[in-house]
Structure 1
Amino acid sequence: MTRPLPLLVSERLTDGRSGVTSVCTAHPIVIEAALLLGLRTGRRVLVEATCNQVNQEGGYTGMTPADFRRFVEAIAARVGLDRSRIVFGGDHLGPNPWKHLSANEAMQRAKAMIEGYARAGFAKLHLDTSMGCAGEPIALADEVTAERAAALAKVAEGVEGSGPAPVYIIGTEVPTPGGAQHALDSLEVTRPEAALRTVEVHEKAFGEAGLGAAFARAIGVVVQPGVEFASTEVIPYKPEKARRLTGALADLPGFVFEAHSTDYQPAASLDALVTDGFAILKVGPWLTFALREAFYGLDGVACVLDPSSKEDGLPAAMEALMLKEPGNWRKYYDGSPDELRLQRHFSFSDRIRYYWPRPEAQAAVDRLFAKLGDKPIPEPLISQYLGGLYPEVAGGSLGARPRELVIGAVLQVLRRYDHACRHC
């Protein structure tokens, strides 16, 4: 049986549903797909930016929080979704982008970042201060993490805005953003006593900082439910392994669990996560993985329609770009040259997603769409190169034009989450 949601979670995030999908991406086509689904279902859309993607220094997208909000709202205006239906969230907000600096300097920058998120009207703020900075251990004591989280919340609370005060997500057992970089045979579910202690120490730290009212708006705890993915493997959710953890929610009134790294989970596993109380499901790499699959499928179609176009195809352009600028994949992948080549393009970790905003990548995608034009793709070629989309095209629910097919590929993933987050 699906657990009843705390009132604040239901009011702010889920429209009274069992859960909510957290769309963690900065790719415009992925965001467009998420907003289109919200338009079709009439439900709100939770879009989140991470501290590395978006911050006061621009992050790897070049956007500040205010820029990101304008970017998403411009897409919403184009598709016809009322911007009031979008919930903006900030993920992993803390010193992580500056952890090579001293704790004092890193926290000062983290405070400037969260002020920017709060001032831009981001309504859901994940406080993640669990990482050590220069000269500190990799993992900090719970009390230090909670004290730093409260310091960030104090900054956010000091920002005057026209909207409702933000809700907070806490939690120190945060999976590696973008997937694990190690073997997954050692994956452990969060111990229930650890989840309870996380809430206890944060409540104490917030109280000592005079932030009792802010802590009353803490609605979620990030825990490890036993799901993860790496370059070539996925660990699906096993409810029996998380039973003790999910039982702890009975002692956490007002809280739900937030699950990260839910990408590539089978549909039944997503359903079970929501049913068990993991009401916030984050997804990111799977969405851009589906986007890349569709792009590469269309490239295959283009090569059949015009064999001479193979030489300037999209995969070759992306390979050249990633070899020229290896910083976003080199330390995450290992193996022989052939294994590295496969991972650059096809890894579940999807490090290729960092390259789509680059001018060279955008130009290559534009060339692909220019080759194909806006004519429908012949259905036999859709069956051959975009087989997962063919049943929808044949059934008439998805158009056969190139851009429709790309958005359709992302929507296939988003609909799995939408189904899991409905009332059962």
Structure 2
Amino acid sequence: MKSKKAAFITLGCKVNTAETEGMKKLFRDAGYEIVPESEFADVYIVNTCTVTNMGDRKSRHMLRRASKLNPDGVIAAVGCFAQVSPDEAAKIEGVNLVVGNNMKHNIVELVEKVKENGPQKYVNERKELSDFEELPIETYDDHTRAFIKIQDGCDQFCSYCIIPYARGPVRSRGIPEIIKEAEALIQRGFKEIVLTGIHLSSYGVKEGTGLGELIRELHKVDGLERIRLGSLEPMFLSQDFVNGMETLPKLCPHFHISLQSGCGATLKRMNRKYTPEDYRNIVKRLREKVPDVTVTTDIMVGFPGETEEEFRESYEFCKEIGFLWIHVFKYSPRKGTPAARYPSQIDATVKEHRSKIMIELAEEMKRNVLASFIGREMPVLIEQPAGENSDDMEGHTPNYLPVVVRTERENAGEIINVRLDSVEGLSLRGIAL
């Protein structure tokens, strides 16, 4: 009997990555063979993104591409684009299944319904997205660190962001379920897990727990060597949490703390809930208490109304902080958000210019941070070859310094000690000890 085949295309964030792995497990358990997205399959699952208009465009493009690979197959639009624009998704040629968020756990049964009854659409309203959707994961394809989704939803309503509508209200996963998944992943050989969520800082708030309690419980998992946190809101990093980090040796001293702008007036228009001064104090607190800590962030340029003075203020603030890395992105109006209707939209050429300037700063700061660790010996999680025919491997230290080192490919997934010798481009060159 010919085996059924399913292919997956994942767009967007690390939460989507985790959810795709959960859906793959469901299909494997149902007897499907998982094949690469470029191959013929009976079912194509496109886990979509809607965070920007570009995310929408990519989602539509990937759905059309899947349809061309098998015009008679089941083509499923799943996730955030499907949740926010279900009718638009359903109209794309070849798409015969639309599944919003919180319905992915039923994906195999929904695919079978399409086979029996034709096109289907399953999308809940935001208020109905109230329960955490369990999609357990046992392994990750092509990864040396494992992502565990612990939280979903967002109640912040930043003026530029559609995600509260796509993902629904804040909800959290139970600690026992997270521990069970972590133990299964460690059994598969993973040394590092990354805790991820849509608004990670909200973990456990409604349930009366919190990230600190979860991290303490994860420390008890034998074989787990590193716990890394996904993107955090600045105000999460309280004095109590930072003070408690010395009792959490498995927690990586790297924090991605979302900034968006270093200008107070811009932050106010964005409806962000902190000031540059708040952010400055949080980073100071971390650097005083946590050895070797590094901070990365996101910066948006060209937000509506951002004057040259406001951009300069943001630039100088970033320079003062001294980030390991800045993910720089140009503001693009997202239909359905307040910021898309703001006056004083910034010209594309201005946004491009500001982006270039901020990226140059990001690269300069990264080289400076990397140089400050030359001569140190640090553990590095070996992840992947540095190039197709390279004898070098790439990996990261606990504080997320990228390292290139000559070592065996069989060491992928292992943690080895490395002496950091020099800066090459935007990485450190190390020698395996």
* Structure holding more strand per residue: 2
Q: TM-score, normalised by structure 1?
A: 0.33
* Structure holding more helix per residue: 1
